[in-house]
Structure 1
């Protein structure tokens, strides 16, 4: 072998080795194991194509185990470089413990409103530690075929809503609404937190509760319970033992006309229903004609950086991309029903997703009332609201008694409510 060939081979080897040495793999921790294929087939290839030398490994855990698994990994120093952030206290606690890096100076943060960032900030809003990815919107999904058969149109007001339910019940072909109380969270999340903002006036009421200038026994907080108490007559036989999957099945099999929903169902229901019937959606009906419409547009998921990552520069580069309009469009359309929090407009391809996100143009957005600050103590207001919502629907508690119990529990530990 000549010296020239040996030199060429050596140079090639060194250059290849240098290229290998430059490759950095970033691992993402997440509880969203249902969208693994979307990350692998759409999101990661888009980033890697534009950022040679940085590889992404999406490594989710089972949702119920995520918090415990993540905490163990962070304590052991084995967690991934990027951490998928739940909203509010779980992520805030990680930041306070020094497990999540401060991302306040990330340029992409300018692409998000204060409301969008609020779920991943310190209470005073001074520091932001996760890049917002998506929110979920509450409302009602309905079977358009059933509505057409019965000559029905989506309701605008509470009175129209119950007149509609009466017509469906009287006809008898369909269960008016598919929702059960066995799992409790379903009654609160798709019931109380769905319709409630129209009564407590969204952010105004939510913040007043935190500040102690209103209480859970005020009419704006009792009124949604009064509406839920009326739902009992429209949920079908045996709803007390009906689980969340049972409710999903009743709707997707065409047995129920309406499904009190979170927008995350869009991507689930579409493939299950196939072409059996077309879906539509309407926002929570307002109390009376002319009232302002409010929707729960709940901050759901974000991405932060492990403070102990060995690759902070590459991780921040990925997070800047997550905060871009390119990612916003890619993610929102890959996962219809998980809506971008980026200020850049996103054109939704899925027609049902377009209906949901279109409510942002006509309704005032808010987040679930129990998530910020108000579930830090014991009793936990979020979990207590689950029980109260289910009890009110079954008749085990009156709306007034449920509200009084929740207020007493909150006042037991939340100082602004201790008057």
Structure 2
């Protein structure tokens, strides 16, 4: 065969190769292998640019436009990757990039045994151009819809929280349980793999309101050096009614791309009701959608931890409480006497006050939640502040100021409610 024909065939096969590489790059991007995806996108763009040398002027111009678009995708991913690595280094200088790229992968631009094309017809070139456009348009459309959805949910800008376990007052038994069941497999990944221990998965935190379930979830993300993605299910249902199945998939993909990550659902019972007790056909579809995504977590190479928080664990569909989903259940009780003393100290430490017997206040506030104690301290500070603004006589907060608020308050947790949580825990 004439050498010029061979050269022409070589350039023509570049378009087919570019299309395959773009599809492969998209898959790598979805799997959060950003370095390799960037490499593939740039390789595809270069092939398209080179193929323009033998195309008609009309098709050649189109090829160059496509190539520039794909180069832009690679540049955007490069900026995203740099941002992720910078955040990871700031949070922990010793942390390695989550990108585990197989740098030695080689792509052959001209597969062997390819059938020659009919060079007299431009139909194939136009068809390939349209196919490349379809891929680019699909990528752009999906990306735009996802960005709009994530922005509306308030999770388009995530970070690793600064809250640590040292900031959590008391709850030592809870912190120990979290470290053993959750943090160690995430932090000691290699050791966990040696013993076939799965990192990530699903955890249900339950207990009376106002005791720091969200705060603890943030601390877990900090200790695991993971991004924290906070989801309000009520907002998810109200704003995106009818699109739950698609959007829950988007959430999990987004979290997987940013792994290690903690995907936190507050008041998760809003989207996990017992199907036997709901007449909503929509909710009966939503529950399986979430179950399907949770089932897909196990075995993923990335590290994704799902934490659901609820005040009403008995209202959750039983399917979510099985192993592999919310198999780990952690009870977050009201603060004990030691934790209550720490809370009083924490909430009063920056205010002018006399010497206070914190131990006494912790003893008389049994069944008061962490939020209750914060209210007591804030109310006492507010009362004294109002008095000082009227009298112009500066004074310290006294024990009597705090005691007055305690005596006018009731604990938000009853003994009957505590008994119900204990029964659920032991079931």
TM-score range, shorter chain: under 0.3
Structure number with the higher helix fraction is 2
Q: What is the TM-score with the length of structure 1 in the denominator? A: 0.21
The structure with higher relative contact order (CA 8 Å, sep 6+) is: 1
